[in-house]
Amino acid sequence: MLLLALLLLLPAPAGAAEGITWLDYGKAADLAKQAPRPIMLFFSAPWCYLCKKMQRQVFSDPKLSGRMQKGTYPVLVDVTKQPRLAEIYEIKQVPTTIFLDLNGKPVLRLTGYQNRAALHRAVMFVTMGHHHRMNWESFSSRP
């Protein structure tokens, strides 16, 4: 009982307040080697209003965050702290969300603010393997 009480006093993992437990890039890559699933990279910056809005309004959705946690390895990349990753993925603006397939190849790039419905559709597109059969434009325009 005392152990449970002490655990409740510990700070939540980084990103848990937004509904998602964010990983760093290296940890996600290691996990993806052990138990393959797509990696979702969310490129953000501390000064980015739309990035913060996505974290408050989109990533906080329990249904979406649950699907993301189960189907992807979510990585939060602060471009001010990780400029090399931003350079590798050619990030020109934030927010930018990139999904990597099981081989680490980018299969979907979404630039700018994405609402819950759009991001949910993107997660489904990648995690259910639709990117193997059709392009994003065809998938996202389906009813």
Give the chain as a 3 state SS string.
CHHHHHHHHCCCCCCHHHCCCCECHHHHHHHHHHCCCCEEEEEECCCCHHHHHHHHHCCCCHHHHHHHHHHCEEEEEECCCCHHHHHHCCCCCCCEEEEECCCCCEEEEEECCCCHHHHHHHHHHHHCCHHHCCCHHHHHCCC
Q: Is the pLDDT of residue 124 over 90?
A: yes
Q: Assess contact for 22 and 75: CB atoms under 8 A.
A: yes
Confidence bin at 100 (pLDDT 50/70/90): very high
All domains of the chain in start order, with CATH: 14-140 (3.40.30.10)
Supply the pLDDT for residue 41.
98
Confidence bin at 14 (pLDDT 50/70/90): very low
Supply the pLDDT for residue 1.
36
Q: Which of 44, 123, 55, 46 is nearest to 91 (CA)?
A: 44
Cα–Cα distance, 77 to 85 (Å, whole number): 8
Supply the pLDDT for residue 122.
96
Q: How far apart are the first and last CA of the chain?
A: 50
The reported pTM is 0.85
Q: Is the pLDDT of residue 8 over 80?
A: no
Query: CA Rg, the chain, in Å?
Result: 16
Supply the pLDDT for residue 10.
36
Q: Which of 107, 33, 42 is nearest to 68 (CA)?
A: 42
Supply the pLDDT for residue 7.
30
Task: Find the mean pLDDT for residues 121-133.
Answer: 93
The per-residue pLDDT for range 30-69, each reduced to its tens digit, is: 999 999 999 999 999 999 999 999 999 999 999 999 999 9
Q: Is the pLDDT of residue 13 over 50?
A: no
Give the strand pairing for 96-100 and 73-78.
unpaired
Give the strand pairing for 39-44 and 73-78.
parallel
Q: Is the pLDDT of residue 80 over 50?
A: yes
Q: Is the pLDDT of residue 4 over 70?
A: no
